[in-house]
Amino acid sequence: MIREIHSEKDMEQLVLEWGLLPFFKNEIEGFSIEEHTPPELWYDSDGDWAPWDWKGPVARAGTSVYGKLFWKKAGFVSMEWFPDLANLRRDGYDFDARFDDGLASYKDKELYDAVVKSGSLQTGQLKKLLGYGGKDGKKGFETVITRLQMQTYLSVADFDYATDKHGVPYGWGIARWTTPEAVYGYDAVTAAYPRTPEASRQRLLDHLKKRLPHASEAQLIKLLNI
């Protein structure tokens, strides 16, 4: 039986319980926040999408990392398991070393460096700073930002909202980008570096096989891009 979530605290606890949890329904049954959310909260008659509003508070709670971490789709990974995911996805490389070895593009580096220098930047601020968008602007922002998330170098710190004249937030939240290291510290993020990337991969697979006995190893490898 799938346990339902009804609040941001429920969502945070579910992420901590599972360790890794995609936001949207996928080919592994029961492995998503969407499937744990009652239909009336997922999208109600007023157009309010409660889990969307909960993502920001959970992302800034200091217990998990949020971003496109599951085959270019969004989800959470708790700090119990994120160091192993980072160790695996980075394959032993901090970002600067990856760039120096020719494994990251200049576009990746300028975007990553902009976020590191500022601490955090909203999507619009980042695009404007680096010249993305518009008729003559750079293209490929989503490709670059998604790749840096999948490699675990960038994550979502929070979501910013427009406010009305009474100061009440409205509309869709705009992602504010940061690095996991800026939030949790370098030592916490790289805690699994003493293990080989293959050892981290096996730890992640073993953990998820226990949580998801109905999922095949091929499904887990595909979804986690490992």
Q: What is the pLDDT of residues 63-103, one digit of tens each?
A: 999 999 999 999 999 999 999 999 999 998 999 999 999 99
CA distance 144 to 26: 23
Find the helix packing angle between 8-18 and 50-59, rounded to 10°. 60
Instruction: Find the Cα–Cα–Cα–Cα dihedral 78, 181, 154, 107, rounded to 10°.
Output: -160
Instruction: Indicate whether 2 belongs to any domain.
Output: no
How many domains does the structure of the chain reveal? 1
Q: What is the pLDDT at residue 3? A: 84
Instruction: Indicate whether 87 belongs to any domain.
Output: yes
Q: Which residues pair with 162 in a beta bridge?
A: 170
Cα dist. 139→20, 106, 127, 152, 177 in Å?
A: 31, 13, 10, 22, 19
State the DSSP H helix or E strand holding residue 106, giving kind and residue range, or none if neither.
helix 106-118
Instruction: Indicate whether 117 belongs to any domain.
Output: yes
Q: What is the pLDDT at residue 151? A: 97
Q: How open is the CA angle 33-37-41, to the nearest 5 degrees?
A: 130
Q: What is the pLDDT at residue 110? A: 97
3-state secondary structure of 204: helix
Instruction: Indicate whether 137 belongs to any domain.
Output: yes
State the DSSP H helix or E strand holding residue 21, giving kind and residue range, or none if neither.
strand 20-22
Q: What is the pLDDT at residue 47? A: 53
Instruction: Indicate whether 158 belongs to any domain.
Output: yes
Instruction: Indicate whether 174 belongs to any domain.
Output: yes
Nearest by Cα to 179 from 145, 211, 129 = 145
Domain range for 213 is 8-224
Instruction: Indicate whether 3 belongs to any domain.
Output: no
Q: Output the pTM of the full model.
A: 0.92
Q: What is the pLDDT at residue 50? A: 81
How many residues does this entry show for the chain?
226
CA distance 212 to 223: 13
Q: At residue 201, what is the residue type?
A: R
Q: Give the least confident one: 9-18, 141-150, 168-177, 202-211.
A: 168-177
Cα dist. 104→71, 94, 169, 181 in Å?
A: 19, 11, 37, 19
Instruction: Indicate whether 1 belongs to any domain.
Output: no
Q: What is the pLDDT at residue 51? A: 86
